Amino acid sequence: MATLFQGLPSSTAFSSSNKFNHAPAPTSFSERKSSIVTVRSDARWSPVLNSATHKPQRLITNAVATKADSSLASTSSKPGHELLLFEALREGLEEEMERDPCVCVMGEDVGHYGGSYKVTKGLATKFGDLRVLDTPIAENSFTGMGIGAAMTGLRPIIEGMNMGFLLLAFNQISNNCGMLHYTSGGQFKIPVVIRGPGGVGRQLGAEHSQRLESYFQSIPGIQMVACSTPYNAKGLMKAAIRSENPVILFEHVLLYNLKDRIPDEEYVLSLEEAEMVRPGEHVTILTYSRMRYHVMQAAKTLVNKGYDPEVIDIRSLKPFDLHTIGKSVKKTHRVLIVEECMRTGGIGASLTAAITENFNDDLDAPIVCLSSQDVPTPYAGTLEEWTVVQPAQIVTAVEQLCQ
């Protein structure tokens, strides 16, 4: 009953315990570029740096799409305080470091430089160089060191300057991080968080545009989550640090400057729950990370055309929240998956299999999956856009699915 489509033309085993001047400077090590606009949750934006090599207007068109529903349009009247997504990550991290002296951070330039996207800015001054540890450019070494530190009782947060660089530490993540709890007969827990920026940016090139969700999803013993808003970024960061399992937290490079209000009081989110973004009746759209905003932009067009899509941000990439997903499938009987991950062997493929195995009798149409093209991400901006799912493709897919 499940069918995977590459995309339409643009026209149409876990442990049981469970304020910096933004436009972060990308000059350190291998980082080449970063986004230079501030994006609000109501879709207003403002440039924060003049640069001859960047075009803010073009950036924002494809980076964070306009949210469709009026209930999501404005946050100015909400209680709480307003933060950019990278500041929300920092706030969650800082609160956990204050709460638990075992929490520490390690990675390239995470100390006094504050990280390549300033998530750790100011933490070295506050907590000292031993708890915010700058490392050499050696991902396999400091990832292994972090896993060893977790075995001794610490709770390390390992930052990859770019998620693509963590491929150098794949052995440590797969053979050690995910398996040591099991292979030690439960003698060791590995409460480690691995996090960093990834996803297709604006002309960052193939090596800096990696989506590694598909690489890590098959490793036993690892949980994976993807943040998409300042609110869930902070809540997932705190939950990941407190978890007794190793957690990989995926952050999208183009969402760091997304702004929203978050509560003043402390909160922690579940690592295994999806988020209902928009209730609907006609079709279930499952997405995560940056594609959430492409979907919500498409939803506005779909509503104007008479469709009522239900949008779910799955957030938990492993394990899937099949309870929330199943309830939606039983209501709409149609599923569209929208991801930035690669088509072959991606999150969408695994999600398609899970829905087919568990809810096949509830489907009235084949599952459609819109994914990135199976090609290295081109540097040329026009070609780069063609490799990633765009809102027009989502609209067309829903129209065909609901025929």
Provide the annotated active-site residues.
139, 208
**Identity at 339, one-letter amino acid code:** E
Instruction: Report the C-alpha gap between 68 and 289 in whole angstroms.
Output: 16
In the beta sheet, which residues pair with residue 310? 284
Q: Please say whether the beta carbons of 235 and 225 come within 8 A.
A: no
Let me know how long the chain is: 403
Query: Where is 62: in which H helix or E strand?
Result: helix 56-63
Q: One-letter amino acid identity for 351?
A: L
Alpha helix (H) residue ranges in 198-321: 213-216, 230-242, 291-304
**Which structure tokens are listed for 217?**
């999803």
Helix (H) or strand (E) holding 356: helix 347-359
Helix (H/G/I), strand (E/B), else coil: 318: strand
Q: Is 364 strand, coil or helix?
A: coil
DSSP reduced 3-state for 280: coil
Cis check for the bond before 319: say yes or no (omega within 30 of 0).
Answer: yes
295: its two tokens = 């979907």
- 249/240 Cα distance (integer angstroms): 8
